[in-house]
Amino acid sequence: MLVLLVAVALIGANASPVERKLENLGDSPLFHSRLFEGDIAGVGPNRDRNGIVDEKLLWPGGIVYYELGSSVGKTIFFISYRCWSMVGRQGGKQELSLGSGCHWRGLVIHELGHAVGFWHEQNRADRDEYIEIFWDNIWPGMEYNFDKMLPWENNYLGENFDYESVMLYGEMAFSKDGESPTVRPKEPNVVIGPVWKKTKFSESDVRRVNRLYECFGETRPPPPTVPDFECDFEENDCGIVNQEGMSSNFERSYGTLGGRTGYSLKIEIKADGGYGGGRLITPYFKMYGGRKGCLSMDLFMKGGGADKYTILRQNGETKEIYLQEEPSNDNWWEVINLTLDIDGDLRFFLEGLMNGHNGDGVIAIDNVRFQRRAC
């Protein structure tokens, strides 16, 4: 397993610290105020932050190429300001920092663990069964570092929560005064301890690395299934909102349309009501490395005033993916199913344009669904 060999080669055979005459700052160089969970770079609110559930973040063949302090492509590039890393292989040159105070075996292995593809143990969705968080003891503003990941944002690789994992922060992580504990193990007599004092990947960590990279005959378990987005509008609008500043808005309304009774999102115009138009925006759908999607919905268009219905996708660029220009489906619902090739998180715009010069018009949508697979 070359990944492990990299770690061993880098830090030498015995005892931490890996270099002498370095100051001991404990775990504090991990607790960056401006990085995700303190020491993870490259994570934005609407970017994929899928880590080990996304196969494109794995290192091909389990080989991590690295350079110490120089700049060559397709490698980890070690720089020196605090301790941080990106999660998984980013492609091209990526950075991993082992700055002042980071030259302890545990901290070095921890950052390499991120680069190999691991998130923090304390952010697992099931962590509340194993640790208690003392929210009042956390440095104000740093509470988000203890947010739980969603179950499908992580692949546990068949391993339970592990108190000995090098990816688990200790009792004093993000402590407001460095003395008040923020984490307490729920199992009696367990002491986690600071990361810098750890000396190696735990046994569970090693099994995870080997399963993730299918070394020694291990098989990588599939990532968890992401729930579909489904909205029938009977209870609410499920986070689908009108874009501000349009000449009209879709409204969630109850009634009978095309032989169906219930709630839908509807935009209407009266004859000679001029032009009108509304645009709905769906929530962002995280893809977790998935490359296919299926957007479906039911569309109702009736009357000459119902001019045009357009669906656009947006991730970086905005692109039209569906256009219905005629109210051809007078008095019944048309089912739209769109299979999409996708790269990264995305959201959809659902536009209805009205022209009252051509008479009354209604456009309504219902049963909006997004699945992370082909239709």
Whether the CB-CB separation of 356 and 276 falls below 8 Å is answered with yes
- The span of 33-41, 50-58, 151-159, 182-190 binding Zn ion (CB under 5 A) equals 33-41
Q: Tokens 């002042």 appear where?
A: 100
Residue nearest to Zn ion (CB): 39
Residue closer to Zn ion, measured from CB, 32 or 279: 32
Q: Report, in angstroms and rounded to the nearest whole number, the Rg of the chain calculated over CA atoms.
A: 26
Using DSSP's 3-state secondary structure scheme, residue 1 falls into coil
Mark residues 97-136: x for contact with Zn ion by CB under 5 A, - for none: ----------------------------------------
Q: Is 103 labelled as part of a ligand binding site?
A: no
- The minimum distance between CB 83 and Zn ion, in angstroms, equals 8
Nearer to Zn ion, 148 or 347 (CB): 148
Among 13-21, 34-42, 62-70, 216-224, which window interacts with Zn ion (CB under 5 A)? 34-42
Q: How far is 260 from 266, CA to CA, in rounded Å?
A: 14
Give me the DSSP letters along 242-254: EPTT-SS--EEEE
**Rounded Cα gap, residues 324 and 77, in angstroms:** 50
Q: What minimum distance in Å lies between the beta carbon of 160 and Zn ion?
A: 20
Q: Is 39 in the site for Zn ion (CB under 5 A)?
A: yes
Flag whether 357 is marked binding. no
Between 108 and 231, name the residue whose CB sits nearer to Zn ion.
Answer: 108
Cα(5)–Cα(31) distance, integer angstroms: 27
CA 349 to chain centre: 21
Q: Read off the tokens for 256.
A: 């009978």
Tell me what percent of the chain is helix, strand and coil, each rounded to the nearest 5.
Answer: 20, 30, 55
The count of chain residues that interact with Zn ion, using the rule CB under 5 A, is: 1
Q: How far is the CB of 144 from Zn ion (least distance, A)?
A: 14
Compare residues 39 and 153 and give the one whose CB is closer to Zn ion.
39
In this structure, are residues 95 and 113 in contact, taking their beta carbons and an 8 Å threshold?
Answer: no
Stretch that binds Zn ion, among 37-45, 46-54, 94-102, 327-335 (CB under 5 A): 37-45
- The runs of H, that is alpha helices, within the chain are 2-11, 105-116, 203-212
CB 107, min distance to Zn ion, A: 9
Cα separations in angstroms, 339 against 206, 310, 372: 39, 16, 10
The two tokens of residue 346 are 């995305």
Beta carbon nearer to Zn ion, 36 or 309 = 36
Please identify, among the stretches 38-46, 148-156, 257-265, 293-301, the one whose residues bind Zn ion according to the rule CB under 5 A.
38-46
The 235-254 site mask, x for binding Zn ion (CB under 5 A), equals --------------------
Cα distances from 105 to residues 88, 197, 292, in angstroms, run 20, 8, 41
As measured in angstroms, the least distance from the Cβ of 199 to Zn ion is 17
CB 30, min distance to Zn ion, A: 6
Residues 6+ positions from 284 with CB-CB distance below 8 Å:
46, 345, 346, 347
Say which of 23, 67, 95, 111 is annotated catalytic. 111
Structure tokens at 139: 């440095």
Name the residue nearer to Zn ion (CB basis): 194 or 303: 194
Tell me if residue 111 is catalytic.
yes
Give me the active site residues, please. 111
Task: Please state the residue numbers annotated as binding site for Zn(2+).
Answer: 110, 114, 120
Task: Please state the residue numbers annotated as binding site.
Answer: 110, 114, 120
Q: Tell me which residues touch Zn ion (CB under 5 A).
A: 39
